[in-house]
Amino acid sequence: MHFSREPDTWRGAIRGITHMLVVPQGFTLSVTGVFAITAGHRGYPGPVVIWLFVAGAGAGFCGLVLASGAHRETTNMPVSITGLALANLLPAAVVPAACCVSWWITNKAAAFLTAGAAASVLYVAGLAAFVALLHSRRNTRGQGAVTDIRVPPTGDI
């Protein structure tokens, strides 16, 4: 097992920061990108419709929590993403896909609600698929694989 220590160089600090930010940075880019394109396509939505976008994103996230059973588990460590998995370009795929989901909905409020849900669901589900794929490739290629994904065993603390 590898234990972290305080970085003593700028490069070491950057490595630690990128490890911490890879997932939230991708989520933020996905959600804000979908919002920006949806607002550009539909015009300024107003406070209530913006709230519907946020509510849709939250509902989509909660739906994934319930569907995956994550609410029934405890963990003291998140998924650790290292190696080439840090090159998280998933938002580049999530933003157009989520915008396509709501693009043709004629009701502005429903379109923003749907866009928010799609942004959240597509990013989290897409990243989970990416992590699972890389993890399975690592298992088939052995410990020397380029990408190292550590996922805590289910139910372990």
The stretch 53-72 carries a mean pLDDT of 92
134 CB-near residues (< 8 Å, 6+ apart)? 85, 147, 149
CA dist., res. 26 & res. 61, Å (int): 15
Whether pTM > 0.85 for this model: the answer is no
Residue 41 domain flag: yes
* 126 has pLDDT over 50: yes
Q: Which of 155, 52, 56 is nearest to 109 (CA)?
A: 52
The total number of structural domains in the chain stands at 1
The stretch 91-99 carries a mean pLDDT of 95
H or E element at residue 48: helix 47-68
Q: Which of 61, 43, 63 is nearest to 109 (CA)?
A: 43
Domain, as residue range, for 60: 19-150
Residue 155 domain flag: no
Residue 123 domain flag: yes
* 129 CB neighbour count, 10 Å cutoff: 11
**6-10, 66-70, 152-156 — most confident range:** 66-70
Q: Is 87 in a helix, a strand, or coil?
A: coil
Residue 10 domain flag: no
Q: Is the dihedral of CA 47, 51, 54, 60 positive or negative?
A: negative
Residue 98 domain flag: yes
* 21 has pLDDT over 70: yes
* 85 has pLDDT over 80: no
Residue 1 domain flag: no
pLDDT at 5: 63
Residue 5 domain flag: no
Residue 57 domain flag: yes
* 41 has pLDDT over 90: yes
* 59 has pLDDT over 80: yes
Q: Where is pLDDT greater, at 32 or 140? A: 32
pLDDT at 2: 55
As a whole-number percent, the residues of the chain with pLDDT over 90 amount to 51
